[in-house]
Structure 1
């Protein structure tokens, strides 16, 4: 059978009908996952075409997966963060959905309070146990979509659940039918997909779900869960670890449209952002993230990272307010007492700061030389320097100009004030200091050197801030 695809205007063979392979023993891919060795990446050199969707977006799991990796949020904290996500995602809903637990009174209160805000985006969804009682609860509170766990690797089917593939598929299809009977949109979480038999279970199961979708007229979303972070984006890598292969396979062999494909990754092998972007590129409209990447073990894909990645791939913000990324970081640090590693991209205190004097000199001459983009304009975070033993006069001058907001009236590195500050700092390090200076320490040094200059600088900064 041939089908003509509008995007390519080509006739493509589609004589593929993968059926469930109900094997007697679990397939554990010991050639890749021997457990006593680092997992191996295998290549079969099969390359699939990119298929960037017309529309892509981000979904959030901060209040579900994120809460499993930290102290639970209070209801007010969930409301505050939900408001920030709405503001970041903008009117076009680039942050399309946010996933909530519904089992405790606190979570139910938070869900109701967020819903009472009346936002279209992020749409509130849930994650529930797969039983009729929970479907009734979701339906009673008016939620349209819910996540359902459908583990798909033999590690889970055989070794955790004690079932065979046929039993697992029949169980899952029965659960999905129950959800559909309540008029609920199921989001099927294909847990551990990067260790699953792709053609022997994943594709046949997805194909059955698409049949149910067609029969019911209700969309059934598939969340591709890279539960242990095994996914790789390398061209020609073999399944089940190939992210391009997984996305392409579900889209082409099972007929899952891009808008119903969602990638959910973990960062066990430092690949979570790359894999999420790859899922977008090869045909998944949605990537599932959490704020600051907080989640199980090494965490989920950081939402703020994919907001920036969206801009890189699309070439525009599409209404996102990226300065809210800084507000989110400040909320976590100030309200939740969460310590963000200082070099974390986009949100760490020093992600765009330098200690090197030669870099500071470049920043002083032209900020673009050593800053990734205009972080002040885009994120509300001006490029900075950390003053230490190797910062030099250029670093000190840049710190003064940035800290006191002297745009248009910058102090030069050869100024008398800078030379006096440098002399104090050099003396401190000569006497054994090993750490960089805090902002308050540097302010005190200026105050001791020239109190009038200090007061003038403080006054100028207050005026600039008040005008904003």
Structure 2
């Protein structure tokens, strides 16, 4: 069997995730989250923006003081002062972000020649101060492809370790991502390519997996997909989805994901929806008669992976309006009740009526009570 090549996972919850409107982590929460992500073997944390001032720098230094195994990166604008501010924070490296689309260049009052000139100045400047330097192509999917290739080629020539291809407004589709990674890989040479996806059209995870399959060496994500507007590619979805690929994987311990996701949800007061992929409370719960019958014989029948894979308990089978006779017999048997012949249809009718009235699932105790009543 071909050995899987791991993709470098960069969590940017503490930078891009915190930019979601109304979201703010205090110092204690940032330290706790950084520790949890490091213990889960996330490869790199983008821990903040030093240029925001002394408070942000103090938080970043506190995380660096943990001496984590993962790399720590600070986010910078294309300014020497931002790089200097990062030097105060004891991080491993810096990420320098550049506008590359004409829309963003015009909005920021910059030109393509300015971008290329700043690349030639700032990458060497940062490399003199940090062991890792990455640069970002902001709004890459609305940029001119020829200019984008020139940007990537120039970053490679100047010695950058990685280029981030950012779908800044979440407009990309998987086929576009795949094509861009293939095209830019030639310009990148041995320099790593990273994909950074937003979820405005609901395709951040799909786009990130497309980038991985196309050969991107790194991807950036956030816990619960936290981020501006519709958010970013969720760490938990990307890690589990990458684990289903034939040739790629991650080093992240997926069993720790549920705990990390719950922690962030509570910290920012954004509860995880019941049907949220991977971590939603209901994603391993089954009511349908056909599904429950299949699960009882083999859990793989109607589940893509075992709940234990992501630190969850085994599948939960519940009684409701769509339950079949086999499931009802199973639950009654576990409660020590044998379903008498001839009572199945009347019991199922009563169960469906009660479930509709209650608009919820029924407990084993409620099922036994209905059985006794029937």
Select the residue among 204, 208, 212 that pairs with 2:154. 208
Answer yes or no: is 1:133 the counterpart of 2:81: yes
1-structure distance, mates of 2:148, 2:129: 25
Q: Kindly tell me: are residues 79 and 431 of structure 1, through their superposed partners in 2, closer, same or farther at Cα, counting changes over 3 Å?
A: closer
Residue 225, structure 1, aligned to residue 166, structure 2: yes
Name the SS for the 1:128 alignment partner.
strand
1:228-257 per-position Cα deviation (integer Å, ceiling 9, x unaligned): 2222233xxxxxxx22232122221x2332
Q: Is the 8 A contact 1:264 1:276 kept in 2?
A: yes
Q: Shift in Å at residue 433 of structure 1?
A: 1.3
Which of 356, 360, 369 aligns to 1:436? It is 360
Q: Secondary structure at the match of 1:135?
A: helix
1:266–1:272 contact (8 Å) kept in structure 2? yes
When normalised by structure 1's length, the TM-score is 0.68
What corresponds to 1:157 in structure 2?
Answer: 105
CA distance in 2, matches of 1:315, 1:53: 4
Distance 1:387 1:427, change over 3 A: closer
1:315–1:184: structure 2 CA closer, same or farther, 3 Å change rule? closer
Paired residue for 2:116? 169
Alpha-carbon distance in structure 1 between the residues aligned to 2:194 and 2:356: 54
2: CA distance, partners of 1:148 / 1:187: 6
1:74/1:106 contact within 8 Å kept: no
Q: Deviations over 1:359-381 (max 9, x none)?
A: 22222233222222222355323
Aligned residue among 110, 118, 127 for 2:67? 118
Which residue in the other structure is 2:33 paired with?
Answer: 81
Work out whether 1:194 is the aligned partner of 2:126: no
- Compared CA separation, residues 449 and 389, structure 1 to 2 (3 A): closer
Q: Shift of the alpha carbon at 1:181?
A: 4.3
2-structure distance, mates of 1:346, 1:431: 27
How many residues are aligned here?
363
Equivalent residues in 2 for 1:187-336, closer than 5 Å: 187-199=134-146, 201-213=147-159, 219-234=160-175, 242-252=176-186, 254-257=187-190, 260-313=192-245, 320-334=252-266, 336=268
Name the CA distance, whole Å, in 2 between partners of 1:446 and 1:336: 38
- Cα gap change, 1:447/1:203 in structure 2, threshold over 3 Å: closer, same or farther? same
CA distance in 2, matches of 1:244, 1:427: 50
Is residue 397–residue 412 contact of structure 1 (8 Å, CA) maintained in 2? Answer: no
Distance 1:336 1:449 in 2: 42
Matched position secondary structure for 2:334: coil
Q: Which residue of 2 aligns with 1:59?
A: 10
Give SS of 1:307's match.
Answer: helix
CA change 1:444–1:243 in 2 (3 A) is: same
Structure 1: unaligned runs, 5 residues or longer: 1-51, 90-94, 214-218, 235-241, 402-409, 451-468
CA shift, 1:84, in A, is: 2.2
Post-superposition offset of 1:196: 0.6
Q: CA deviation at 1:195?
A: 0.7
Task: Note the aligned Cα RMSD (angstroms).
Answer: 3.4
Instruction: Quote the Cα distance in structure 2 between the aligned partners of 1:329 and 1:182.
Output: 34
Change over 3 Å in CA distance of 1:334–1:426 after alignment to 2: farther
Judging changes above 3 Å, is the alpha-carbon distance between structure 1 residues 337 and 208 closer, same or farther for their aligned structure 2 residues? Answer: closer
Partner SS state of residue 150, structure 1: strand
Q: Which has the higher helix share?
A: 2
Question: How far off is 1:449 after superposition?
Answer: 8.9
Distance in 1 (CA, whole Å) between partners of 2:358 and 2:16 is 40
Partner secondary structure for residue 62 of structure 2 = helix
Report SS of the residue matched to 1:149.
strand
C-alpha distance in 1 between matches for 2:54 and 2:326: 55
TM (norm. structure 2) is: 0.84
